[in-house]
């Protein structure tokens, strides 16, 4: 699963507008993602698929936020 480019582009603009708060958000979201991922191991049989779906989505979003940092760094090196 890959987030749409317009969502990633918007995240880059947000990161550029407020780099410090954005980095803090990513750090907190990474902890949330870890918690959601661990929750899968504790889910009951009737909730396992929901927990797994939440974990997958959180990981996709976290990767997108991390990619935002990489895109911003590449843009800075390119002088944009």
CA–centroid distance for 58 within its chain: 6
pTM of the model: 0.82
Residue 1: per-residue pLDDT = 64
Residue 34: per-residue pLDDT = 97
The candidate with the shortest Cα–Cα distance to 68, out of 11, 4, 5, 19, is 11
pLDDT in tens, 47-67: 999 999 999 999 999 999 998
* Per-position DSSP letters for 24-70, written without gaps between them: HHHHHHHHHHHHHHHHHHH--TTTHHHHHHHHHHHHHHHHHHHHHHH
Domain ranges of the chain: 5-71
Residue 80: per-residue pLDDT = 56
pLDDT in tens, 12-42: 889 989 999 999 999 999 999 999 999 999 9
């Amino acid at each position: 699963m890959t987030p749409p480019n317009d969502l990633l582009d918007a995240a880059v603009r947000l990161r550029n507008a407020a780099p410090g708060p954005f980095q803090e958000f990513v750090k907190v979201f990474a902890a949330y993602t870890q918690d959601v991922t661990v929750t899968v191991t504790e889910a009951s049989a009737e909730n396992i698929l929901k927990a797994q779906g939440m974990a997958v989505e959180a990981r996709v979003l976290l990767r997108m936020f991390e990619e935002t940092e990489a895109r911003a760094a590449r843009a800075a090196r390119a002088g944009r």
